[in-house]
Each structure stands twice: as structure tokens, then as C-alpha cells.
Structure 1
């Protein structure tokens, strides 16, 4: 009996994406080093250590892990204290299995976002393939599981630069636990250093450990190479935990950092955890038996590396044994571990021939696991050999403790429990599933399958798992409640204060796994056509989720610093950085796309550090958490207006059938708070069968704030223009937070924008994008008033007039109501009596209404409201034309001068 190794089948739904976790299976080792942007053979050049190097004021690394999927946001703020411009270098270690999803620089208060684009085929360096070598003898890669992101930029004198990096990864369960590693190597002591890890799980967290800082070959070595001998979490570590979430923080001050490492190379902050495995699924009663066979071996020493010969000899030896014992070990798991420290130099040395011979020798009778040691290894060859024979490949760096890593690898695969594992669902229940057939499951590991539900309204999902052990075949089945799981997820995220950074995490996990599967399929492909299909599909997925992979490159626009130390109005040509795949040449710089590259313009005045930028994507933290708490008061869609009347505790809704090109006044409080909001309409044909002749949507919204000085924000579905002393043009596809003297702006990529004015007034604008729009659909915006505190009682506009309005609900006699609405018709007969109908009392006006339901927040919530017909006639002050203004920046007063009509 293997204790604590029982099966759990759980589902984490998110609208229409579902992930199934088989909590004791093995997560296929992710083989591709897919997420490297820049690799360098030295940490910095010597100039970086002179006194002129910028001072790192703050380094923050915040991670949220939800059901094994980790979002990490890094924010690094540097200050150039000198009058002359100097070079700033941002360098950060990221796990090799992670994908970078965003990078943004803020230099001198101006924003320089990145863009992920497909690699161009023509972008090949002379010299062809690099045969898998990467940064020989680089200290950054000495630990084998990390790669280095590096970006250099010129920082003007007396100015700041902020670097924002986000990446995502799926944690793998190995040896019965999950490990999350955060690199803390700023290379200097930092005034404000913080590392945070939040873990949210559905199952109870049964094991949690924060290890001593790991630096060098042993976990206990410090930055100076001396072992401190201490066991336990690093100094200043605080852990807060309950059954389903934990929050860990590491915030050493400068003195504490200096005791660890005076050079700032603190090491790796490591968190281990595991969760409870559900019982009662039928696997707990199965007795597993294992057999370890030893073979008498003789050794010969060769002067070269014969990879092909070694594989042939090992395969023949194991094959003969299996043939002689075929009946008694029919379901046993057999494998070969192949280890090499060099490239093929004798015998057959051509990679295609070695791969073909290996496959012929193995004949799908056993699995091949490969291990490469050192820098002079063809890792791509080892990767293909293992991938095509149901195994995995591991790297052991040149200066690593090989004995420790070999033992760890053997511990992972030394106890195979099941083979031929297949995960299946009810017919037509899911689509686009990731890999669902696995050769082996090893003790203490995990396997994850993700897919998309075909029936969004389904309450449950049936899952069947079949597998074999050494004695029998196993069938496990379970029905999972989808909506209960979804509600439980939302509750636990709220309890852990995880914030909006994990919104859509299930779909992103699916995208992550799909990209990994596509890259593996591409590597296994036998024909150019098959390879091209995998390339195109995986590239499209990478672009959809903004992942930097071996098939994409990141375009980063750099600021140009003039001779006088100020920033030029036009920047340098965009630089392409990318994640080169093993044994494929990295690309050279590509031409910039003028239509997509963000701009950053500066006025004719000295640069001022007026803008401070907080976390991106998964790290859009405290400011964003508040901003996404929306009210119902909104103008969204066609456009549909919803008004939550605070004084009357009523919700009212109406439609405005505007004209394309018209600009509507949504909010105006110009005289008091100085705030005005206008929205421009675009048109689209109505769908077939609609009672409307056309549709209209808001495609541009402007927010003008005239106090204490004039500033504004102009928003479209593609970009956000912020003008407050400095002018910034931010793409809606990048997550970023900017704080100026007058305005606070938070963008959640492709989701929403939050604007905070004077600290209290808060608006939220939703971005609506269509990948394949129908003729009647247009990319558009939705406007929501999140917090009206700070707007005066004289506020007006289509939405603003209701913020302080008193509206009453009454019942009208049906005859009276009919007579009011049909005053030109003949009076009703005396003997006809109609039922009463609801009406709203607005000032001295009576407006008949009907009860309706409206979907808001991109359809995520349904609200019941009293609907006023006829373009909100009598509900709103004046008429439609009174709300049409001349241009987007019009701040004129309400035409009638008062809220009374």
C-alpha cells in the first residue's frame, strides 16, 4: 500500500473553461526553455559596478498561485542620482518553464510598453543553428532551473526608471510537493525590498515550508560563499495561513540584507507546499508492487562519445530481459536512463540518424529518459530522443552538484505506479483538450488536463480515468459539480485577497498547456508541412495570450536621451528581444510597426518624476482591487444605460438611440469638481430581424479634470492617452498602473481601465474586443461610475443627473396610463378597466416603466431594473439633443443651467 497516494479529480471552472487535475499523476516535464528573452555570458560589464550606476530604490516581486498556476509581477525602481545620463540595467532570473506575458519600462515619467509579435522566418543569424548551446559558463544559469531576463536603458540625469516584468508558470508536483522559487538578486542593497507569495488552493494545504535562502550549490550558502548554518525561513519572513490559502512575505531591511550578502545576491526564496489528496475514489484499496532488477554489467572506457552505440546496447539489454520475462511482467513499467556529458563524436554522429535508430531500438517497449551534464551537450538531440520515446530530458549544469541532482531525478522516476493513463469525458462535453493520454505516472507527481466546456450551462462534468498497474487495469469515474466549484473558487480568492490579477486564470492555464503541447508536437514533427502546422497554431496561441515563446519576439521601444540629458520626443527604433528555442538561432532586430507601437511625447519643459508606476498584470494590486468594485450605474453596449439611484434604492434603465458621430455628455460637474465625461458613438448595421435600423456603440470616451489643473484621459478600445503635464500613450493590451499629480490610472490588459480623480472619484471603462466580429459588432467601450464621492449635487449628464436624484415608484391606474401614452386616440369606454401599471416620479414628471433584466459587466451579472421607453423621454431632463456636445473635450455647462426642468 502506498500511503497518501489516492486519486483526486477536481474541476475549476471559469465561465467556459475547465481544468481537470488528477492530483496524484505526473505532470509531463516541460521540456522547452521557452521563455528567455536575453541571455548573457556575464552578469554586468565592469562599468555597472562603478558609483555612477543607478540606485535601486525599490524591488517588489509578488506572486499569486491559484490551483498551481502562478502569476508573478516584478517591479524595480531605479534612480539616477547624477546630473549626467547613465546606463541602467534591469536583470531578473525567471524559471525556465515560465512564459513572460508583459514587460514595460517607465523612463523619466514616460511609458514604453512592449509588444509580442511572431518571429519572422527571414530573421536568422549568419552561422545557422547554435546546436543547443546557451551562454557557456554563465553564473546566471548555474542552478539549471532559471534563465535571465536582461534589459539596458539610458536613464536621464536626476530621473527614475521603473521596470515591470510579469511571467506565468504552472507548478509541477515532484516528490510529493510543489516548489515555487523567487529570485532575489538585485546585485545591490535595496532600500525597499519585498517578496510576496499568495497560495490559494481548493484542497486543504497540508504542508507548507519556507526554506532558507538558496544560493550556490547548497541551500545554506550565502552571497559571500559562506554557509550561515541556519535552518528555517529567512529573517523577516512572515507566514499567514489557513486551510485553503497562505500569504508569505519576505521584507528584509538593508541591515538584514547586508548580513545575508553585501553584494545584493541574496539568492532564491523557496516555498514548498502540498495539498490534501481526496480519498474514497476507489484507488486506496489497490496494492502496488514493484520490481527492481539488477544486471551484471561490464564497463569499457572509450575516447569518444558514442550516443548511438550506447542507446543500442542498452536497448538490446533491456529488450532481451523483457522478452524472457514477458508474461510475468506484462504490465510492468520499464525505462532506460541515458546520461552523457558530450556531443556524439564517434560512431553515428548525425542527429536524424541517431533519433531514427533510437526509435527503432526502443520499439515502444519502454521509455527513454535522458540527462545531459555540462555545457558541451546537444540538448536538443537529447530532448528529441526522450520526447519521441515517452520520456523526459534533464540538464545538470557544469558547476552543479551532479550527485544531488541525479538522486533527485531518480527519486522522481524511481517509483512508477501506473502506466497508459487516459483521461476521457462525456461525449461532446469538452473540446480543445490538452494532452490526455500519458505513458506513466510516478509516485509524488501530478498530471493536469485542461479543456473547454461545450455546454456552458451544464451543472456537472463526468470524467473517466483508465490506467494499468503491474497487476490489473483500473477505471476511475467521477461527476464534478461545475457551478459549486466556481462559487467556491470566487469565495476563496476573495478570502485570500488575491485581487483581479488571477481573473481568467483557468483559460490562461489552458493557453499555457496548449502552447507547451504545440511546441512538443513541433519538435516531434516528421515533415515540414506538419512542422509548419504546429508552428502556425502555437504562434497564434502565443500571440493570443501574449506569451513570449520560442516562436515569438518582444518588441521594446527604448527612449533616446539627448546630449543635454533630456528625453527626445521621438524614440529609438524598437528593439526586438525574444526567447530563442534550443538549437535555433535567435532573431535580429525587426522593423517596428508604426500602427501598434506606443508613443510617449513630452512637453517643452524639464522632465519631472511626476509619474509613478505600480505592478503590472498579476501585480496590479491595491489600487486595482478597489477600482474593480463597480456600481450598476453605467452606459454599455448599444448603448444601454443602467442607473442605481442611491437616494431611492431603485435601479432604472433606458436606451439611447443615438446617431453615429454624435458625442454625448455622460457626466458633467465642471464648476465644482472640474470633471466632465463625454462619449463618441460609432454605428453598425442592426442584426437580421432586429427592430432597430442600426446599432451604436461608444468607441471613444474622454474624461477631463480641470482642477487643480487641466488634465484629461482619452480612451479607445486600442489605447489610452493620458495628458497630465506629461503625455503618455498606453496600449490597452498592456497591464500597467500610472499615478500622476492629478490622476490615477490602472489598466488590466484587454479588460478594463480604472481612473481615479482627486483620490475619490472613480470611473471604470471596460474594453470590448471581438476576435471574429459579426457585421453588427464593433470593438467598443463600456462606462461605469465606481465611486461618485467628490462629485457635487449639481452633477448632470445622462448618468450624472441621477447621482443625487430622488425618484419614487408608484402605481398608475391602467386607464390613466393608457390615456397618457395614447392621447391622440379615442377615449377608452367607461366599462373597460385595465390593471394598474408601475411608474416613476421624477421631479414633477411621471414616467411609466416596465420591469426588465439587464446584463452588465460584460454579461457577468444580471440586474433587475425599471425600464423607461422612448429614448428615456421624461425620465431624463430635457431631450436627447441637449446631451449632444460639439467635441470630445467640450466642458460646457448643462444647457438648461439647472437640474430642474
Structure 2
């Protein structure tokens, strides 16, 4: 199996980490991992995390590129000498970072989309004002409270002398270590550590009042000007349960906290264990410019707690605004941030609408420890594109995909915290549409892995239909347009084509008894083919009506749109599977669309992609049916009339344009094999049919 994907590596604690799971559960004769790194800014360091087979790892590094290879032999993989079990059962992790300076960051531009990476260094840390709000309800009994004590002692040791802090512990009762924000000197830290060592679980869980108490302490200190004017204020909540005392309505708690904290305080929520509503904590954190993190019970829980604190321990900037050329960009992702923490990275993407731009400028303003900070950069659009085009990416248009990823992530975040049902549905629909269009796995979509089957020989290009073809009935329309009909009694396929003007709509099949109708719209080539002197035509669009189900499906070379009683859903030509109550649809290999009907039949639509810059041809569709015997006897249309094999008479067989493809006149009842726009959808007389 081959899995191709792309991922945005998030910078944490001053490095990017690429993690590959190596758990084959068996010995592998030819086992090799290759990691290639390219960074325009140059590589600051590249490290491979300690690995039990490190002698099989090779690192080659230049200024901008690195190549890591892991190629263990069978002996390297064995758990013991001569045994068949493998010892590969962990992650292969590569850490690296790039060269940085105090500037406006790096901008990458490809195919009309830009991505901006901002991670400045050499800044003095902002003092932080932090309130630790710790759950000591009964559910924290046992290892959780022991690990919390251990983690708090370690975290308190990391406070900087310019920081201010206090601790709030809560169950149904709320108490504080100090009602004032206290400077983080050695004496105060030791007193707070002793308070932490005495934390004892009892009682119920009053989350609402605990957060409001911490907020009140911060607000009072700011009002009395006891805190530095240029500082970052943080509430850090640690809890393992749901609210069970005081205000227990979670929406009311969210509203109370958001109104009380305002825009100047960031809330981080740590959910300890599995028996809690993590979604509630996540929404509450997002409401207040923060984020939530799960802390899993286990021996490393103190490390998880400390690891999260390390990420937010050193704020460098606050109130960050990234601005781009006015009237030159649109659909820009989030570009305003409450706080920038040391070791992280801000990423913004958008679409360039002014294609005549020669240069692209960015302005960044923020509050730093020493004063207001302004950074400006200007890059040449063509220079940036040319540099990136020299690199061979798996996905060439990675800037557009990264923009889509950030946009979808932003929509899902807004959807999570949006109280209005109509706006929530709009955000859901937009996120779903983009997820399907770009093939992202999200909470709204899923990935279906199917076994690739061997592709059958294309019917239209076959010089002779193989004998086995008659065992499976295939009826369809494809190419310019060719109609392929299987005639079992005649033991042969018949192919006929039609000559219609672009824009004409033809009925392919109609079965009123089953409420099914399929129409196709003709499109023309871009210009006349000089070799044949003809303007080739194709099926460019299909409309499938399932009237009994109240469904209409509009299929083009760009997308698939399903209309039903709930509205309109747009799908891209990406791998999807959607199951409805009475039917299902599937796209596989990004070029085959299947509709499975309740009468035990199916339709297949094939997308034939043509290079966009082809001077003559354009992309088109093919349409095939399966299970024709399930349609009613009154089914008609260019294809439908053949589902119940008609009485035909083939005469006047003569040489065709190709020596092995004779042509003939095919009499179908009183009609023949070409459609000239008659209202009943049947062929008109005296037209050619090729016999295969």
C-alpha cells in the first residue's frame, strides 16, 4: 500500500518534528526510510531522536538541504538472535529548525497563493502574569493529585524573576495561596511549592467560580497598576471532571468566563484523564484566545503537564497584527494574534487577486517588552515563485493546499464556538465543501481505503472485443461520443456515434416506473482538428434525476453536485464515499464516480482529464450502466432503448476507415443507430454503426 500525504509541521519549543511510526509487526527484507528536508532560510540544526538502531541511520546535510536514511538489515530488526520477532515498535523522529533573525519572516508564493511564516528571535521575553487554577475535587484522588503536585513544583521553579503569579485551588470550595499577584522571587516560589505539596482532594467541582476568582485577582492587580504595562496575562486551568457545583450549565459558564476575561487575558485548559467533557474545555479556551490540551493518565503525566507549560512559558509579543497589500489579496486566514510564544510560529495564508503584482509587501505590528515593534518586508513575486519551482514537491500547488488547510481549520474552530444555529450550519457547509474539494480528513469527512483492482482494457480503444467481454454486460457512452451496446443474442458489441452541435442536451435513458432519468450535454473541442477537419464533440455534463428519492445529481468535469431536500452538497473529484438511506455514491481513483441505486443497478461516470493547455481537446465524461435487467421494459433513450434487447437487422456491411472496423446500417425496429434530435430519443434512419 502506498500512502501519499502532506502535513504542516508545527513549530514547538524551537523546532519542527517529523514523526514516522515504525511498527511493522514482522521482519521486513527491504526496509528503508528516507527523509528529505529543504528550507530556503537554511538549516540551523538537524537531529535524529535516540533510536535503538542508530547505527543504521545516516545523515547527509548541506546548508539548505538534508537527507536522512534509515536502512536496517534483517539482523538489525530482530528482537533477539535468530528469532523472527521484530524490535521495531516505536517512532522514528527527526527534529530540525531553520536560521532566523528579527525580521518579518518568510513569504512563499506559488500559483497565486501566498504563505507567510513568522517566528522572530532575539526578543526580550514579556513578563507574564499567571494564575494557576487547580482542581482538587474528590475525582483527583490517587495518582492524579500526586502527579499534579510533582508537576507544579517543577513548573514553579521555571518562573522568571520578572513574572507575577498566584495559585487558586478549587473543589466546591475555592481558596487561594495568595489573594494578590505576587512577584516570582525565590522566597515566594518556595512558599508556593509548599502550598502545592499540600494539595488534597475533596468535595465537588466548581469550575465557574474558580475561573472568575482567578480573573478577579488579575483584574485587581492591573487596576492597581501592580503589574508591568507590557506583559502577558494568563489563566491556566487544570481539571479532571465536569462542573458539578455552583453554576453547572456549561454554556452559561462559557458566557460568564468570556464576559469576565475580556480580550486581554488568555485562558489555557488542561483536561486530566478521560472522564471529562474535553469539548467544553476546548470551546472555553478558544473563546478566550487560548487552547486546550488532554493530559493522559500515566507515569509521564508530569512530563505532559510540564511540556505544555514550556510551550507557553515565554511570551515574546502581544497584540500581533499582520497586514498585506490592500486590494491585492483576499480570503486571508487569521492574521491577528493575542500572544506569540518563544519557540512557536505564526502561519498566515491567502489568495493574491492582483496578478500583475511585481512585489509583495508585509507589515507586522506588535507590542514587545521594550516598546512597540514594527517589521516590514518586501519580496519579488516572480523571484519567490522561480525559487520554489526548482524544488520537486509531491504536491506542486502546496501554497493553495496550505491555505485550504488553514481555512478549514479556522472554519471548524469558528463552528465549534458559534452559538447561532444558522451561522454554525453555514460554517459547517463551507468546511465540508472545502474538505471534500481538497481531500482533507476532518471531523466532517473520512478517508476510505479501498483495494485497487486491476483496470480493465478501455472498451473504446479495443481493436477486438475479447470473448470474455460478453460475460458482463456493459452499456455506455464515451469519447466523441461513442455509444457501446452489448447484444447478447448477437454475441457482439455494437458501437455507434452521434454528431450533435455543442450545447445540445440528449436523453440517455428514462425509466419512469423507477423514477430515473439521465441526460447528457454535448461540448465541443477547442477548435477543429486539422487532421480530420472535424470539430470533435464529447459529453461534458451529466444530469441524473432520481425522482422517487427527490435527488438530482449534476456532474461536470470540475465537480459533482448533489441536490436533495436538505439543500446542495458539492463534491470534488477526490476519493469519497457517501451513503444515503436508499443509495450511495463513491469516487475512486479521482476519476471514477459510482452511483449505487436501490433497484440493484449502478451507474459509473468516468472523468477523462485532458491537459488544460491542450490546444484542441478538453476534459470530458464517459457514462456506463450496470444491471440493466432491473430497469422496466418501458425504459427508453439513446442507451435505455437497448436494455431489453430489441429486434435488430444489420445490413450493408462494408469497409470502414480502419481495416479491422467495418461499418454497416443497423435497423432497430423501424429506426437506426444515430440520434438526430428526435423527441423520443431514438435513432434516426440511415446512419452508420461500427460492429466490434
TM-score bracket relative to the smaller structure: 0.5 to 0.7
Alpha carbons of structure 1 residues 777 and 417: separation in structure 2 relative to 1, 3 Å: farther
Alignment correspondent of 2:58? 238
Aligned 8 A contact 2:448 2:575 in 1 = no
Listed as ranges, the matches of 1:322-471 within 5 Å are 322-325=222-225, 329-399=228-298, 401-471=300-370
2:402 is paired with a residue of what secondary structure? helix
CA drift of 1:238 comes to: 1.8
Aligned 8 A contact 2:609 2:619 in 1 = no
CA drift of 1:734 comes to: 5.7
Q: Distance in 2 between matches of 1:445 and 1:887?
A: 70
CA drift of 1:733 comes to: 4.2
Q: Distance in 2 between matches of 1:485 and 1:519?
A: 31
Alignment correspondent of 1:269? 92
Q: Does 1:178 align with 2:78?
A: no
Of the candidates 159, 183, 187, which is equivalent to residue 25 of structure 2?
187
Of the candidates 39, 49, 56, which is equivalent to residue 201 of structure 1?
39
Alignment correspondent of 1:754? none
Alpha carbons of structure 1 residues 286 and 240: separation in structure 2 relative to 1, 3 Å: closer
Alpha carbons of structure 1 residues 264 and 286: separation in structure 2 relative to 1, 3 Å: closer
CA drift of 1:425 comes to: 0.9
CA drift of 1:659 comes to: 7.1
Aligned 8 A contact 1:235 1:256 in 2 = no
Alpha carbons of structure 1 residues 685 and 182: separation in structure 2 relative to 1, 3 Å: closer
Q: Compute the TM-score of the two structures, normalised by the length of structure 1.
A: 0.43
Of the candidates 511, 524, 527, which is equivalent to residue 684 of structure 1?
524
CA drift of 1:694 comes to: 10
Say which one has the larger Rg.
2
Alignment correspondent of 2:600? none
Alpha carbons of structure 1 residues 433 and 718: separation in structure 2 relative to 1, 3 Å: closer
CA drift of 1:464 comes to: 0.8
Aligned 8 A contact 1:306 1:345 in 2 = yes
Of the candidates 185, 194, 209, which is equivalent to residue 309 of structure 1?
209
Q: Distance in 1 between matches of 2:425 and 2:20?
A: 36
Aligned 8 A contact 1:186 1:264 in 2 = no
Q: Distance in 2 between matches of 1:717 and 1:886?
A: 30
2:383 is paired with a residue of what secondary structure? helix
Listed as ranges, the matches of 1:489-508 within 5 Å are 489-491=388-390, 493-494=391-392, 501-508=394-401
1:541 is paired with a residue of what secondary structure? helix
Alpha carbons of structure 1 residues 173 and 281: separation in structure 2 relative to 1, 3 Å: closer
CA drift of 1:165 comes to: 3.2
Q: Distance in 1 between matches of 2:28 and 2:525?
A: 57
CA drift of 1:247 comes to: 1.7
Residue-by-residue CA offset, 1:594-640 (whole Å, 9 max, x unaligned): xxxxxxxx979xxxxxxxxxxxxxxxxxxxxxxxxxxxxxxxxxxxx
Aligned 8 A contact 1:373 1:397 in 2 = yes
Q: Does 1:258 align with 2:78?
A: yes
Q: Distance in 1 between matches of 2:42 and 2:102?
A: 13
Q: Distance in 2 between matches of 1:543 and 1:459?
A: 33
CA drift of 1:207 comes to: 0.7
Alpha carbons of structure 1 residues 185 and 464: separation in structure 2 relative to 1, 3 Å: same
Alignment correspondent of 1:550? 443
Q: Does 1:485 align with 2:384?
A: yes
CA drift of 1:303 comes to: 2.2
Aligned 8 A contact 1:660 1:696 in 2 = no
Alpha carbons of structure 1 residues 603 and 385: separation in structure 2 relative to 1, 3 Å: farther
1:376 is paired with a residue of what secondary structure? coil
Aligned 8 A contact 1:412 1:442 in 2 = yes
1:330 is paired with a residue of what secondary structure? coil
Q: Distance in 1 between matches of 2:29 and 2:558?
A: 37
Alpha carbons of structure 1 residues 884 and 536: separation in structure 2 relative to 1, 3 Å: farther
Q: Distance in 2 between matches of 1:305 and 1:169?
A: 39
Of the candidates 526, 536, 555, which is equivalent to residue 429 of structure 2?
536
| Structure with the largest fraction of helix | 2
CA drift of 1:172 comes to: 0.9
Q: Distance in 2 between matches of 1:335 and 1:778?
A: 57
Structure number with greater CO (CA < 8 Å, separation at least 6) is: 1
Unaligned runs of 5+ in 1: 1-74, 76-163, 214-229, 561-566, 570-601, 605-657, 663-680, 688-692, 701-715, 720-730, 736-746, 752-764, 771-775, 782-880, 889-901
CA drift of 1:467 comes to: 0.9
CA drift of 1:780 comes to: 4.0
Aligned 8 A contact 2:230 2:368 in 1 = yes
Alignment correspondent of 1:321? 221
1:530 is paired with a residue of what secondary structure? helix
Q: Distance in 1 between matches of 2:217 and 2:449?
A: 54
Q: Does 1:521 align with 2:392?
A: no
Q: Does 1:169 align with 2:7?
A: yes
Moved more, 191-200 or 173-182: 191-200
CA drift of 1:488 comes to: 1.1
Unaligned runs of 5+ in 2: 106-119, 128-161, 167-176, 179-194, 457-466, 470-497, 503-520, 528-532, 541-555, 560-571, 577-587, 593-607, 622-655, 664-692
Q: Distance in 1 between matches of 2:426 and 2:659?
A: 51
Residue-by-residue CA offset, 1:135-184 (whole Å, 9 max, x unaligned): xxxxxxxxxxxxxxxxxxxxxxxxxxxxx434432111111111111111
Residue-by-residue CA offset, 1:335-369 (whole Å, 9 max, x unaligned): 01111122223333222122112212212231000
Aligned 8 A contact 1:211 1:234 in 2 = no
CA drift of 1:323 comes to: 1.9
Alignment correspondent of 1:852? none
Q: Does 1:779 align with 2:625?
A: no
CA drift of 1:377 comes to: 2.2
Aligned 8 A contact 1:462 1:480 in 2 = yes
Q: Distance in 1 between matches of 2:662 and 2:249?
A: 69
Aligned 8 A contact 1:330 1:470 in 2 = no
